[in-house]
Chain A
Amino acid sequence: MKCEQLLKAINDYVDGQIDPAVCKDLEQHLAGCNPCQVVVDNIRKTITLYRGGQPYPMPPELCQRLRQVLREKWQRQFPQAR
């Protein structure tokens, strides 16, 4: 396997969805290619860093407006419910 092929297979590898035969080739390449090792590590860290973040706080005016429009909608949608 060459670096270019590794690049194409990198998603399947980091997602754990790679074909076992391809995985063996890929890991053989990784063992001898420091730049590819670093790229794989960078990609994993990129995904980790984005996962789970809620970077934008709710604007307070949206919170307030949202409750009001939802209450009205709820009453129209479920007139029997409280």
Chain B
Amino acid sequence: MAGSFAAFEALVARYERPTYSLAMRMVRHAEDAQEVVQETFLSVVEHLKQFRRQSTFHTWLVRIATNHALRVLRRRKRNRAVPLETDHDEAQPLPHPDFIAQWRDEPSSLAQQSEVRRILEDALSELDEKYRLVFVLRDVEGLSTEETAKALDIGISNVKVRLLRARLMLRERLTRQLGDPHTRLPAHGHEDVTSEPITDQTKEGKP
């Protein structure tokens, strides 16, 4: 794959912004994200001859960027290892849906609104790092469960549990902001309740 620098520059031009967005979503800090991007592309040059097209270039790049992001996150914790594998997600109860309502618009239209883009990034920032990293790799970057497990050096079952929690937490946060309150339904644990929208009276006392 190694060829002229001009060809490589074209590759950089195509992938630098997505890589910067990925880095920002993982490390949540502009200077650290810049470092991740720079180190990622330097690693790409260094290992370009080893790229064997066993994976796509995008997947390879995401894995390299994830390595550098993890390094930054670990350094932030004063060289203590990121405790990605130390707690037991399976043992904790799932975050149950509380605010259940239809969204006020379709994703294609919501995505065009700058206010919604800010809501999305804020919601992602509020997730714990271990959930955020899995969600970003699986659902934003489109890596498989196995590729995500490899990139983060965690087990496949951890990826699955963290993705479930991440999606449920993001759904809750986004629905509180993007949901139409008039379509709000009773919260989960609702086998015996009706599916009638919640009235203002029934909403009282909710956080």
Contacts and interface: CB of A to CB of B under 8 A. Distances in A.
Interface in A1-43: 2-4, 7-8, 10-11, 33-36, 38-39, 41-43
A5 B96 CA distance: 12
Contact of B171 (A43, A54, A55, A81): A43
A35 B100 contact: yes
B5 to A, nearest CB: 5
Contact of A70 (B45, B97, B121, B167): B45
Interface of B is mostly: helix
Interface of A: 2-4, 7-8, 10-11, 33-36, 38-39, 41-43, 45-51, 53-59, 62-63, 65-67, 69-71, 73-74, 77-78, 81-82
Interface residues of B, number: 62
Given A46-B174, A50-B140, A70-B45, A7 B168 contact: yes
Interface of A is mostly: helix
A62 B37 contact: yes
A66 B41 contact: yes
B71 interface: no
Contact of A35 (B94, B121, B171, B188): B188
B173 to A, nearest CB: 9
A55 B18 CA distance: 9
Nearest to B3: A81
A70 B17 contact: no
Contact of B107 (A10, A38, A49): A49
Nearest to B46: A77
7 contacts: A11-B160, A33-B191, A50-B170, A54-B21, A58-B17, A66-B37, A73-B46
Contacts of B38: 62, 65-66, 69
A8 B191 CA distance: 16
A10 B164 contact: yes
B190 to A, nearest CB: 5
